[in-house]
Amino acid sequence: MAELIWEVHHDAFDVHDPIDAASSPHVISTAAYNFSPNTAWVRHSVPFTSFIQPPLPPIPTPAYILVTFATNAIAGGGAANDEVLIDDIQLIYNSSVGITEANSNIPFAHYSTENGLLIKESNQNYHIFNLSGKQIKSGLDSELNGLKLNSGVYFLKSNSRTEKIFVP
């Protein structure tokens, strides 16, 4: 059996789940993740996907995130006495980081516990942000290569690209 996390990023309208015709114009993005039940602590990271389709109407102002947890991958498809136990949920959203699509699918940086940060593209200025959008450090690649970071997720941003960095 698969379980579902469903998130809807929307404006101040009273959005319904499942999304109906009245709610649809107010939805900015959605995120869905099917997962299998287990007894261990598991972190799930689910990216939002734009819900607004061309031609672009006026884009709603983000105001709320509606989160649904279901015992089945199909809404309403669960069985009697199904349950989902959720503890310590953390939703992180920060539009000020300015994440954009990368120009290439080839990573331009990575992190290793032995060598720290390694940036493959040279002679550029970079900024490192944490998940809260706070700038941790900035400088040329030569100044940032080898930098040791605390465990977590960071964004390395240049003028043209953004790379997500996972630090174990």
Does residue 84 share a domain with residue 120? no
DSSP string for 25-55: GGEEEEEEEEE---SS--------EE---SS
- Among the three residues 73, 93, 113, which one is the final residue of a domain in this structure? 93
Q: Please check whether residues 33 and 109 belong to one and the same domain.
A: no
Among residues 93, 124, 152, which one ends one of the domains? 93
Q: Are residues 101 and 59 in the same domain?
A: no
Q: Are residues 89 and 101 in the same domain?
A: no
Shared-domain flag, residues 107 and 77: no
Overall number of domains in the chain: 2
Q: Which domain holds residue 61?
A: 1-93
Using the predicted structure, report yes or no on whether residue 149 has a pLDDT greater than 90.
yes
AA letter at 39? T
Q: What is the mean pLDDT of residues 18-23?
A: 82
Q: What is the pLDDT of residue 24?
A: 81
78-97 pLDDT tens trace:
777 877 777 767 766 655 54
Residues 68 and 130 reside in one and the same domain: no
Rounded Cα distance between 83 and 146, Å, is: 46
DSSP-assigned beta bridge partners for residue 118:
110
Provide the whole-model pTM: 0.48
**pLDDT exceeds 90 at position 144:** yes
pLDDT at 138: 93
Q: What's the pLDDT score for residue 104?
A: 47
Q: Do 46 and 117 share a domain, yes or no?
A: no
* 71 Cα distance to chain centroid: 22
| Segment 57-86 mean pLDDT | 74
Query: Which of 137 and 100 is assigned the larger pLDDT?
Result: 137
Burial class (CB in 10 A: 0-12, 13-18, 19+), 129: buried
Report the chain's mean pLDDT, rounded to a whole number. Answer: 77
Note the Cα 24 to chain centre separation in Å. 21
pLDDT for 100 equals: 46
The CATH number linked to 149 is 2.60.40
Same domain? For 10 and 85 the reply is: yes
Asked if residue 114 and residue 79 are part of one domain, the reply reads: no
Percent residues over pLDDT 70 in the chain:
78
Instruction: Identify whether residues 47 and 117 lie together within a single domain.
Output: no
Q: Please identify, among 58, 93, 128, the residue that sits at the C-terminal boundary of a domain.
A: 93
DSSP 111-146: EETTTEEEE-S-S-EEEEEETTS-EEEEEEHHHHTT
